[in-house]
């Protein structure tokens, strides 16, 4: 299937127009016209090899929404014309304990990413969502509620599920104090979900100009992190803190804000190890945890929750020729709060 997209051809090169082919439909495959693709900071980390060697040419993009245009002979989950979403992975082993538990993102053999990886045949390079067409096994795609703004739905496929999953896992809700570090693509979804779940939600941001936006999205408190005294005042007060800050930072003042049995969840992946003071962890019996996206069942559950609560991402829709500028602006924390590419422009 002839596909038009945008690719990075070598590390740090600008993205440029790129034509490639997608596979013919297998019996359980679905083909879709992509409508919108979000720009995740993970796309930038990988295009710039901040996580180690990458595969080029790379078509990034794992926040994909569109409509089904064709189905394979054995497809039962989708019909032509239905809305469909694809996220951060396109396959997994389907037989390990994690896959059987619906936690495909933690597949023991490793999930198959949507791009910058080889598919399970060991030779086909997976090509991501900055493109106008996609082919996906029906088990790794989800239904999209028809009532939501589609551009705002695309970021739910990564940013949304990545915050929804830990908030549910660590039981954010009424009576719980939740902190969200960084009000970017992931962080603003974390704020919307924590608020919708009924938690008292605090945003920690190094961008004072984001305060009004945070309050409008439901933040109970907004703390500017540039002065560490603002954090010291809040020591031993949070049940749960989620870190979405894409840059490296000192976690110590944040860990100290956890109260007894509180949990700090590492979500951002800036690519450099953090230093942890063990004494801070022993005090208050604090926990340090990680969390990666969410499984297929939870992804569908989150989309249904968004449909019911009318939750989407706040987006700035761009054309493909703006992607390189969008990357620079994302790194500068200058987007409210996610860039989404209109796939008609590829
Ligand atoms: P993003 O939109 O760029 O947001 C990151 C936010 O971090 C910014 O908006 C900014 O918030 C804050 N920040 C950035 N640079 C900073 C600096 N120098 N000092 C202090 N704060 C800074 O990124 P994203 O797409 O949300 O992704 C965030 C991170 O999560 C990335 O590392 C990404 O790779 C990772 N990620 C992980 C998963 C997972 O499954 N665990 C999934 C997707 C992405 P303020 O302006 O409010 O300070
Ligand atoms: Zn992502
Ligand atoms: Zn598996």
pLDDT score recorded for residue 290:
98
Say what the alpha-carbon torsion angle 65, 67, 69, 73 is, to the nearest 10 degrees: 80
Indicate which ligand has the atom closest to the C-alpha of 187: 1
* Centre of ligand 2 from the C-alpha of residue 62, in Å: 6
* Residue among 41, 226, 331 whose CB has most ligand 1 atoms within 8 A, to mutate: 41
Ligand 1 close to Cβ of residue 223 (< 6 A): no
Give nearest CA residue, ligand 1 atom 39: 292
Half-sphere exposure of 333 (CA within 13 A, CB side): 16
Q: Is the CB of 245 under 6 A from ligand 1?
A: yes
pLDDT per residue rounded down to tens, the chain (346 residues): 999 999 999 998 999 999 999 999 999 999 999 999 999 999 999 999 999 999 999 999 999 999 999 999 999 999 999 999 999 999 999 999 999 999 999 999 999 999 999 999 999 999 999 999 999 999 999 999 999 999 999 999 999 999 999 999 999 999 999 999 999 999 999 999 999 999 999 999 999 999 999 999 999 999 999 999 999 999 999 999 999 999 999 999 999 999 999 999 999 999 889 999 999 999 999 999 999 999 999 999 999 999 999 999 999 999 999 999 999 999 999 999 999 999 999 9
Q: Which ligand is nearest to the CA of 106?
A: 3
112 lines ligand 1 (CB under 6 A): no
Which protein residue has the closest C-alpha to ligand 1 atom 25? Answer: 41
Distance between Cα 245 and ligand 1 center (Å): 4
CA torsion, ordered 123, 126, 51, 106, to nearest 10 deg: -90
330 lines ligand 1 (CB under 6 A): yes
Q: Nearest C-alpha to atom 7 of ligand 1 is from which residue?
A: 245
Nearest ligand to the C-alpha atom of residue 60: 2
Which amino acid residue places its CA nearest to atom 4 of ligand 1?
A: 184
Q: Which of 160, 161, 164, 246 to mutate to test the pocket of ligand 1 (most atoms within 8 A of CB)?
A: 246
How many Cβ atoms from other residues are within 10 Å of residue 287's Cβ? 15
- Quick check: pTM over 0.85? yes
pLDDT at 282: 98
Measure the CA angle with vertex 142, ends 100 and 157; round to 5°: 100
Can you tell me which atom of ligand 1 is nearest the CA of 337? 2
For 238, other C-beta atoms within 10 Å of its C-beta total 21
Top mutation candidate among 39, 128, 184 for ligand 1, by most atoms within 8 Å of CB = 184
Which ligand approaches the C-alpha of residue 46 most closely? 1
Nearest CA to ligand 1 atom 46: 207
Are 217 and 195 within 8 A, CB to CB? yes
Angle between helix axes 159-169 and 185-196 (nearest 10 degrees) is 40
pLDDT on residue 12: 87
The stretches of 234-322 forming alpha helices (DSSP H) are: 252-255, 278-282, 296-309
Residue ranges with CB less than 5 Å from ion ligand 3: 92-93, 96, 99, 107
How far, in Å, is the centroid of ligand 3 from the Cα of 115? 18
Q: Would you say the CB of residue 313 lies under 6 angstroms from ligand 1?
A: no
φ, ψ of residue 190 to 5 degrees: the values are -60, -45
């Amino acid at each position: 299937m002839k596909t038009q997209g945008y690719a990075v051809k070598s590390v740090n090169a600008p993205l440029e127009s790129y034509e490639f082919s997608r596979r013919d439909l297998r019996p359980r495959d679905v083909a879709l016209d992509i409508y919108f693709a979000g720009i995740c900071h993970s796309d930038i980390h990988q295009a710039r090899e901040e996580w180690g060697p990458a595969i080029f040419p790379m078509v990034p993009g794992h926040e994909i929404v569109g409509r089904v245009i064709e189905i394979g002979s054995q497809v039962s989950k989708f019909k032509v014309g239905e809305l469909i979403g694809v996220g951060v992975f396109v396959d997994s082993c389907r037989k390990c304990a994690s896959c059987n538990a619906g936690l495909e993102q933690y597949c023991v053999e490793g999930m198959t990413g949507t791009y910058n990886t080889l598919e399970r045949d060991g030779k086909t390079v997976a090509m991501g969502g900055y493109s106008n067409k996609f082919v996906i096994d029906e088990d790794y795609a989800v239904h999209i509620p028809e009532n939501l703004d589609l551009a705002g739905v695309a970021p739910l496929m990564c940013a949304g599920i990545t915050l929804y999953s830990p908030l549910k896992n660590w039981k954010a809700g009424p009576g719980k104090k939740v902190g969200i570090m960084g009000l970017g693509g992931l962080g603003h979804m974390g704020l919307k979900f924590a608020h919708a779940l009924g938690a008292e939600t605090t945003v920690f941001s190094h961008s004072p100009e984001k305060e009004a936006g945070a309050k409008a999205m439901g933040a109970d408190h907004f703390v500017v992190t540039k002065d560490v005294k603002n954090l010291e005042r809040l020591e031993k007060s949070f049940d749960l803190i989620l870190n979405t800050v894409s840059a490296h930072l000192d976690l110590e003042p944040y860990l100290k804000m956890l109260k007894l049995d509180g949990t700090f969840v590492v979500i951002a992946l800036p690519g450099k190890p953090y230093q942890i003071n063990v004494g801070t962890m022993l005090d208050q019996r604090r926990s340090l945890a990680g969390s990666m996206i969410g499984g297929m069942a939870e992804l569908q559950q989150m989309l249904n929750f968004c449909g019911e609560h009318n939750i989407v991402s706040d987006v700035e829709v761009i054309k493909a020729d703006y992607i390189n500028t969008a990357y620079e602006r994302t790194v500068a924390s200058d987007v409210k709060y996610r860039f989404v590419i209109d796939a008609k422009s590829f």
